[in-house]
Amino acid sequence: MGEHTVLFVIPAVLIIAGILALALSTPRKRLKRINKLMNQNEDVLKEMAKKSAEISGSARNEFLHENEDMLKEMSKKGAEINSEGIKITAKAVKEGFTETKLTKFCKNCGKEIDENSKFCNFCGKEQ
């Protein structure tokens, strides 16, 4: 059992035991026990929430570190696609939108291809 698991299992067992005791008591006793249980476990619950946040942050950082190259490549590809779109828009504005050539953009790489193309001339992916 890992260090993080122990941090959650022991307090969780104690809290569950308290909840079971509540289920077996009268309404008045339940209220008293709920207040007592909340007061007794307030610090434990706060610590569990803090540890949970730390673990989540740690897992996020680990994911980012392990996938840094892929994320950079995706960002670069997105920038290239946006750059290509800006160039096409600028060209259309410059030419006054008079060009009648039918075109579309590749679903994979974003390059401009002929409207009737079933495959991209640049990356070869089916459209």
Question: What is the Cα–Cα distance from 42 to 96, expressed in whole angstroms?
Answer: 68
What pTM, to 2 d.p., does this model score?
0.32
DSSP strand pairing (103-105 vs 112-114): antiparallel
Contact criterion met (CB below 8 Å) for 60 and 72: no
Q: Tokens 């790489």 map to which residue?
A: 109
pLDDT at residue number 126? 92
pLDDT at residue number 57? 82
Contact criterion met (CB below 8 Å) for 36 and 25: no
Question: What is the Cα–Cα distance from 23 to 76, expressed in whole angstroms?
Answer: 57
Show pLDDT as tens, one digit a residue, over the chain (127 residues).
455 555 566 666 767 776 666 666 677 777 777 777 777 778 877 887 888 888 888 888 888 888 888 888 888 887 888 788 788 878 877 777 655 566 788 999 889 888 888 999 899 999 9
